[in-house]
């Protein structure tokens, strides 16, 4: 039974990835708004209902891969070693995200860059997803006792502020791959260096 469930989950994951790959390629070739979910379903040889069973919105067909590349920041906080500084754990997380992105085939990165750069609704959905992650991270910071501020500062405000800064620094790993024009694409080493610089600045700011 466990083996059957394992096979089922693997099949579902393969279907999700296939739908995402097909959709992103079609969006890059024809434009996000020009492609319908029905056309994606036909190309993937599934029903439109099946597509929506896997993805709540059309935009998620582009962005859902981030769930695999960039797990929840709150989960990273909860999994860090006891006594390990928050920024160290998050910097390591950002490095892992960058490395996963650069493991994607070049054509897949190019398609992702093109769609994210040309579709306002995709960028809006991206920001919505990031706000949800920031809220989860802020709650985890309070839970972990890492939202202390100076004097009588409200822990909720401190946590929200720290979560926004940390999330922005982590996002550098993603922005470096998806937001630079192709002709200015950075190498992995350049992306990691940018992430390190951002976290160094963040560390100095939070310490001051």
Residue 6's CATH number: 1.10.10.60
If asked whether residues 70 and 13 sit together in one domain, one would say no
Q: Which two tokens stand for residue 50?
A: 């099946």
If asked whether residues 31 and 100 sit together in one domain, one would say no
If asked whether residues 75 and 176 sit together in one domain, one would say yes
State yes or no: pLDDT of 198 exceeds 60.
yes
Neighbours of 106 (CB within 10 A): 10
Q: What is the pLDDT of residues 8-25, one digit of tens each?
A: 888 888 898 899 889 999
Residue 129 is predicted with a pLDDT of 85
Tell me, what CATH number does 132's domain have? 1.10.357
Cα three-residue angle 134-140-146, rounded to 5 degrees:
105
Q: What is the pLDDT of residues 56-103, one digit of tens each?
A: 999 999 887 666 666 678 888 888 888 889 899 999 989 988 898 888
How far apart, in Å, are the Cα atoms of 40 and each of 44, 135, 179? 6, 33, 25
- The last residue of a domain, from among 31, 57, 83: 57
Give the closest residue to 70 by CA, choosing from 129, 140, 157, 112: 129
DSSP run (H or E) holding 16: helix 2-30
If asked whether residues 71 and 135 sit together in one domain, one would say yes
If asked whether residues 93 and 25 sit together in one domain, one would say no
pLDDT grade, residue 35 (50/70/90)?
Answer: very high
DSSP run (H or E) holding 166: helix 155-178
């Amino acid at each position: 039974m466990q083996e059957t469930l394992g096979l089922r989950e693997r099949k579902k994951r393969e279907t999700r990835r296939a739908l995402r790959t097909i959709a992103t390629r079609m969006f890059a070739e024809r434009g996000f708004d020009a492609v319908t979910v029905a056309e994606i379903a036909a190309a993937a040889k599934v029903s439109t209902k099946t597509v929506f069973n896997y993805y709540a919105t059309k935009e998620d067909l582009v962005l859902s891969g981030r769930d695999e590349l960039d797990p929840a920041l709150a989960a990273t906080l909860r999994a860090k070693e006891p006594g390990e500084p928050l920024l160290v754990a998050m910097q390591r997380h950002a490095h892992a995200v960058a490395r996963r992105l650069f493991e994607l085939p070049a054509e897949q990165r190019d398609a992702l860059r093109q769609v994210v750069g040309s579709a306002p609704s995709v960028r809006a959905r991206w920001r919505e997803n990031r706000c949800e992650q920031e809220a989860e991270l802020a709650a985890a910071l309070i839970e972990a006792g890492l939202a202390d501020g100076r004097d009588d500062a409200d822990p909720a405000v401190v946590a929200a502020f720290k979560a926004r800064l940390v999330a922005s620094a982590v996002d550098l790993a993603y922005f470096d791959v998806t937001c630079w024009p192709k002709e200015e694409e950075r190498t992995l080493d350049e992306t990691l260096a940018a992430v390190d610089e951002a976290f160094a600045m963040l560390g100095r700011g939070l310490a001051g």
